[in-house]
Amino acid sequence: MSQQEKRSPHLFVAIPIGVEVGMRLNAWAKSTFGESSFRRWTDPRDVHFTLKFLGSVEEERIAEINAALREALARETPFALELAGAAIFGLPEAPRVLFAEPASGSAGLSRLADATEEALAPLGFAREKRSFRAHLTLARQYAADAPVFEPAKLASAPALSVGIIDRAVLYRTHMNKSPMYEEVSSFPLFNTKDP
């Protein structure tokens, strides 16, 4: 790890989904489209829903980020999440990104993304201009020498239960490592509503 990475790690806030779900999605995507169809595959241990990318952040700011996220996310309610379906970003014949989508729970993920934005804006992290779209990146950069991508195969993505989403995580990126993401802090979601 470079001195720059130690002093200013690249950070993001996300919802982990677990290695087992990541492995099943990885196996489906590789068997459906071919292992050589995409240039970069997400390590199953790294599959997650990104809530907010923070970029390069000075190490000494992590404590204030943790405090803001802990307070904001403790007010959120755990929820069930299921996956069904896959989609792409980019051209249908040569996608930039292959991803899985939530069947249920996307409203909960949007709520967590909003809470994360609200918590970090006062610390100087600019709000995301694009609208939030919950997705799990499985692969990137369709290979130029691969057969023409067949969008119809996206419908064969498995329906999987992720279970109850009860925490968010602050991750640090380690480029050129596998897995690439290291958990820095975890933020439990507490149900503060009356039963």
Nearest one of 52, 43, 54 to 137, comparing CA atoms? 43
Nearest one of 107, 119, 96 to 13, comparing CA atoms? 119
Known catalytic residue at 10: no
Given the residues 37, 47, 100, 135, select the one marked as catalytic: 135
Known catalytic residue at 48: yes
CB contact at 8 A, 185 and 62: yes
Strands 94-104 and 136-142, sheet pairing = antiparallel
**What is the number of other CB atoms lying within 10 angstroms of the CB of residue 72?**
19
CB contact at 8 A, 20 and 183: no
Q: Which two tokens stand for residue 104?
A: 């249920």
Given the residues 29, 47, 48, 54, select the one marked as catalytic: 48
CB contact at 8 A, 90 and 97: yes
Q: Report the catalytic residues.
A: 48, 135
